[in-house]
């Protein structure tokens, strides 16, 4: 098969081949770059495998390119990385690998190109193209990877039990590739994932989170999550999400399967944004439901307070999955806690005070919150869906009116703690916080306008009520 490289790519491959010839090294470009070229997907990352000293080859190429080449050497791993004209070139020596059952870190020794292909995760990633001048452009396909690509199948080059036992992370990668490429997983490979799922426990949480985030960022992430659930991998590292699965019935009254509802919300939000953390908010918005599920006679199933319980679970889940414990986590936590609030504002006769409090609590994340709420509409009843959408449009309209009038979203208190302490001669204490909160509540409830004079006068009245006298 002839692979259609661009002129720039041919020039780059020929350059590497020239220096490989000069150093008497056999060299191939392998893996993802070849796979993506065949599939017509853009790719700027090129992995080169050579029989010999890969670091030396990279160094010689970097010398030729000159100062504009950014090259890094990783001697412990026997690899070199070279960045040039928007391309990232990775060089590694051909090697054989052997694994111990309790670790995914291999024992490595020099090998042939064939040895190197045997250690690849999937047949489609074992494709290689020669860059040496005598066989430039010839495709090496030892495991039928080209046919698997054409059929859209994920398959391991060796027995899948060995492939996954050597590196259990490959099970997650299989599902991630199936999701990204809209491929299926070979039945034998799938059965091996099911039987080997427990092996994922030796993989670091950071590596798992990296693959999981790539699944979440897919065009339709529900496909990947459904596979993770059905093969047993999801319960290994994210049991809280498994708890959402299933519907229970009492007296003929049931609730929806909150696992598949969550996946539908995730797909809905994915159609409107590539924001990873907004997608995480969709995943976790109902995570508190299993802990709050109750059956009430004459009413049915309830999940009262699941948004509060879910928000409390967010930091623990982020820590468990080794996701960032910073403003990203706080953003997700905020949206989980607030995701029911806009729904409550779709009723008639909602006060400006309720609108102000939503705007204040959501702040700059108001638009993200509304996107989450709209994604949460998963009814199959088209009339009901249109009614919800119309109601949310009314909420947006009301919020816009109140925001233009009161400027709540970027609200800063006109009376600071320093002003309160100076006025009443106080040191930092609970009373200072109580006065600040009372002023904030008065503004949000429309008791006083959002300006300094009104706030200062209200502060003095509060002081009298608390037996505080202004300092003269």
**Mean pLDDT, range 99-107, rounded to an integer:** 56
Task: For residue 365, give the DSSP letter.
Answer: G
**Domain limits, the chain:** 7-151, 161-237, 417-465
CATH no. for 7-151: 3.30.460.10
SS3 for 301?
strand
Question: pLDDT tens digits for 319-329?
Answer: 999 999 999 99
Question: What is the pTM for the complete model shown?
Answer: 0.88
Q: What's the confidence (pLDDT) of residue 163?
A: 92
**Mean pLDDT, range 233-256, rounded to an integer:** 91
Reply yes or no on whether the pLDDT at 89 is more than 90: yes
**Mean pLDDT, range 110-124, rounded to an integer:** 87
Q: How many CB atoms lie within 10 A of CB 178?
A: 21
More confident site: 446 or 421: 421
Angle at 333 between CA 331 and CA 339, to 5 degrees: 95
Q: How far apart are the C-alpha atoms of 364 and 419, rounded to whole Å?
A: 26
Reply yes or no on whether the pLDDT at 155 is more than 80: yes
Dihedral in degrees, nearest 10, Cα atoms 99, 105, 108, 113: 80
Residue 104 banded pLDDT, cuts 50, 70, 90: low
Reply yes or no on whether the pLDDT at 8 is more than 70: yes
**Mean pLDDT, range 184-211, rounded to an integer:** 96
Highest mean predicted confidence (pLDDT) among 16-20, 161-165, 387-391, 438-442: 16-20
Q: What's the confidence (pLDDT) of residue 2?
A: 76
**Mean pLDDT, range 95-117, rounded to an integer:** 68
Q: What's the confidence (pLDDT) of residue 117?
A: 87
CA distances from 299 to 10, 303, 308, 338, 377 (A): 69, 12, 22, 25, 22
Pairing of strands 153-154, 184-185: parallel
* Share of residues in the chain with pLDDT > 90 (%): 71
**Mean pLDDT, range 221-232, rounded to an integer:** 98
* Share of residues in the chain with pLDDT > 70 (%): 96
Reply yes or no on whether the pLDDT at 59 is more than 60: yes
Reply yes or no on whether the pLDDT at 4 is more than 70: yes
Output phi, psi for 188, to 5 deg: -65, -40
Q: What's the confidence (pLDDT) of residue 99?
A: 53
Reply yes or no on whether the pLDDT at 98 is more than 60: no
Which residues does 344 contact at the CB level (< 8 Å), separation at least 6? 354
Q: What's the confidence (pLDDT) of residue 151?
A: 97
Reply yes or no on whether the pLDDT at 230 is more than 70: yes
Highest mean predicted confidence (pLDDT) among 71-75, 113-117, 185-189: 185-189
Q: How far apart are the C-alpha atoms of 215 and 238, rounded to whole Å?
A: 14
Nearest to 322 by CA among 204, 243, 171, 417: 204
Highest mean predicted confidence (pLDDT) among 39-43, 65-69, 449-453: 39-43
Nearest to 113 by CA among 223, 27, 33: 27
**Mean pLDDT, range 273-298, rounded to an integer:** 95
Q: What's the confidence (pLDDT) of residue 65?
A: 87
Reply yes or no on whether the pLDDT at 342 is more than 80: yes
**Mean pLDDT, range 354-373, rounded to an integer:** 92
Q: What's the confidence (pLDDT) of residue 77?
A: 74
Q: Which range has the worst mean pLDDT, 110-119, 152-161, 286-295, 317-326?
A: 110-119
Pairing of strands 45-50, 27-30: antiparallel
Which residues does 376 contact at the CB level (< 8 Å), separation at least 6? 265, 268, 285, 339
**Mean pLDDT, range 454-458, rounded to an integer:** 94
**Mean pLDDT, range 103-121, rounded to an integer:** 75
Reply yes or no on whether the pLDDT at 146 is more than 70: yes
Q: What's the confidence (pLDDT) of residue 391?
A: 86
Which residues does 383 contact at the CB level (< 8 Å), separation at least 6? none
Residue 47 bridge partners (DSSP): 30, 90
Q: What's the confidence (pLDDT) of residue 297?
A: 85
The DSSP secondary structure of 111-142, one letter per residue, reads --HHHHHHT-SSGGGS-EEE-SGGGTT-EE-S
Residue 105 banded pLDDT, cuts 50, 70, 90: low
Reply yes or no on whether the pLDDT at 45 is more than 80: yes
Q: What's the confidence (pLDDT) of residue 409?
A: 73
Question: pLDDT tens digits for 163-177?
Answer: 999 899 999 999 999
Reply yes or no on whether the pLDDT at 311 is more than 90: yes
More confident site: 67 or 463: 463
CATH architecture for residues 161-237: Orthogonal Bundle (1.10)
- Mean residue pLDDT of the chain comes to 91
């Amino acid at each position: 098969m002839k692979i259609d490289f661009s002129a720039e790519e041919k020039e780059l491959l020929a350059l590497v081949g020239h220096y490989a010839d000069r150093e008497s090294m056999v060299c191939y470009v392998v893996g993802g770059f070849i796979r993506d070229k065949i599939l017509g997907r853009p790719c700027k990352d090129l992995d080169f495998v050579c029989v010999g000293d890969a670091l030396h080859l990279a160094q010689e190429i970097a010398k030729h390119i000159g100062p504009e080449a950014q090259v890094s050497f990783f001697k412990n791993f026997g690899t070199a990385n070279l960045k040039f004209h928007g391309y990232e070139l990775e060089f590694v020596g051909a090697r054989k690998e052997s694994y111990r059952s309790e670790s995914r870190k291999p024992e490595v020794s020099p090998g042939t190109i064939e040895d190197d292909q045997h250690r690849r995760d999937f047949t489609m990633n074992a494709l290689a193209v020669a860059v040496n001048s005598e066989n430039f452009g010839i495709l090496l396909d030892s495991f039928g990877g080209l046919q698997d690509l054409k059929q859209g199948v994920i398959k391991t080059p060796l027995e899948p039990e060995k492939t996954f036992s050597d590196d259990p992370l490959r099970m997650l990668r299989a599902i991630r590739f199936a999701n990204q490429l809209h491929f299926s997983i070979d039945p034998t490979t799938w059965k091996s994932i099911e039987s080997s799922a427990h092996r994922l426990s030796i993989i670091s949480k950071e590596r798992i989170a990296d693959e999981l985030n790539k699944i979440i960022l897919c065009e339709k992430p529900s496909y990947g999550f459904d596979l993770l659930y059905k093969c047993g991998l999801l319960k290994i590292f994210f049991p809280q999400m498994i708890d959402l699965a299933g519907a229970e019935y009492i007296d003929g009254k049931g609730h929806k399967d909150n696992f598949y509802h969550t996946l539908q919300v995730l797909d809905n939000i994915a159609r409107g944004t590539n924001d990873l953390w907004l997608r995480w908010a969709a995943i976790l918005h109902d995570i508190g439901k299993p802990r709050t599920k109750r059956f009430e006679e004459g009413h049915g199933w309830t999940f009262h307070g699941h948004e509060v319980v879910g928000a409390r679970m967010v930091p623990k889940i982020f820590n468990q999955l080794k996701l960032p414990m910073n403003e990203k986590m706080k953003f997700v936590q905020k949206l989980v806690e607030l995701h029911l609030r806009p729904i409550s504002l779709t009723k008639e006769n909602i006060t400006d005070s309720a609108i102000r409090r939503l705007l204040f609590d959501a702040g700059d994340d108001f638009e993200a919150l509304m996107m989450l709420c709209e994604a949460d509409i998963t009814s199959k009843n088209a009339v009901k869906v249109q009614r919800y959408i119309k109601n949310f449009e009314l909420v947006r309209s009301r919020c816009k009116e109140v925001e233009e009038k009161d400027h709540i979203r970027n609200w800063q208190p006109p009376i600071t703690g320093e002003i309160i302490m100076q006025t009443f001669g106080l040191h930092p204490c609970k009373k200072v916080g109580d006065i600040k909160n009372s002023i904030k509540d008065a503004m949000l409830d429309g008791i006083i306008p959002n300006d300094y004079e009104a706030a200062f006068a209200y502060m003095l009245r509060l002081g009298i009520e608390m037996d505080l006298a202004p300092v003269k």
